[in-house]
Amino acid sequence: MLMVNVHCRVMEKRKLLGVTILILVLAVYLVQNPNFSTLQLREKLKDKVIVICGASSGIGERIAYKYAAAGAKIVLSARSLDRLAKVQTKCSTLGASSVHIIPQDFSKLTGIENFRNNVLEIHSSIDTLVLNHAAIPLGPWIALPNQQDHQFTTRTFNINVLSYIELTRVFLPDLEITSGQIQVTGSISGWCPFYQAGLYTSTKHAVNGFFYSLQQELLAKQSPITLTVFTLGLILTPEMDTLISSETDTALIPDLFKGKVDECADVIVSSALTRPRNVDYPIFSVKSNRFMAYVFPYFHELATFTYGLSYDDIVQTHERIRKLGDKIGYQLGNK
């Protein structure tokens, strides 16, 4: 009996030690990404040439404002000329050295070479390429025949994956000259399958596959280019907040599991100074999901039991969200 009690106490101490080590590891693992003051950013980024794809709204718009406040030379691109013009005006008032707009539909890959030429006609060099544009088709794939259409699938992959690769290809020689940076906004959907957005999830897996491989290649080549991949969780842009709050109160979502759009932009722009290869935001949400995907690769199957809605209810919910997205002009890619 004495030996049993001693063994139990030893096991309890080991468990306590294990928990303590786990907490310490998590504390290091969850360290926040550093942010810098506007003055610090201006010291390093003034007159740098920043090309931002997907700059007309959401995260891309806020990234543009942060770079503008740092005195950068900015080239804005997206489909909507009207929206880009509004972002251009605000960037100018915030202190950008210069702001140009080049409207571009990135679903058409044949125009990307010309896009690069247009950028270099304005500026003779480029320091940072921000790949942020995206189509976000939502809803269960089986229930949405329009998402099963070959042209729809091709368009989604053109925007979310192939245009990223093509933009990287055409700008790579220019970024080599300036020891520049490529900033890629990825998603936790690229790590954890999500059955309510199958096409979007698959494109983000493809983005991870290509750009993490490219990171290895740049390192092996000893290239001066820094490639930073941002794994983003739920970011409450005004548009996304409107869509989600139409079905549920976003205040009920714990702060650990949602990110603020301005803070997200701060993290992305600050990386132009720190040059990391990988950044997660929001920290806890993304890293906990990534950890679960590593230790329990099939944990995503549990998602089908946690929503509290039937499959048909989810289909109807996404149909309402899609209609609202169309109404407010948010690019969901469902048409």
CB 205 within 8 A of CB 245: no
Q: Is 281 a catalytic residue?
A: no
CA distance 272 to 36: 11
CA distance 298 to 318: 24
Exposure letters 316-327 (e unless 16+ CB within 10 A, then b): ebbeebbebbee
Residue 331's SS3 state is coil
Q: Which amino acid is at 71?
A: G
Edge to edge, the sheet with strand 226-232 lists 98-101, 73-77, 49-53, 128-131, 181-187, 226-232, 278-281
CA distance 228 to 206: 16
What are the structure tokens assigned to 262, written together?
A: 């301005």
Name the active-site residue from 67, 164, 200, 281: 200
Q: How many CA atoms lie within 13 A of 160 on its CB side?
A: 28
Exposure letters 224-255 (e unless 16+ CB within 10 A, then b): ebbbbbbbbbbbbbebbebbbeeeeeeeeeee
What are the structure tokens assigned to 232, written together?
A: 């983003």
CA distance 55 to 110: 20
- Contact partners, residue 90, CB within 8 Å, separation at least 6: 65, 68
Which positions are catalytic?
A: 200
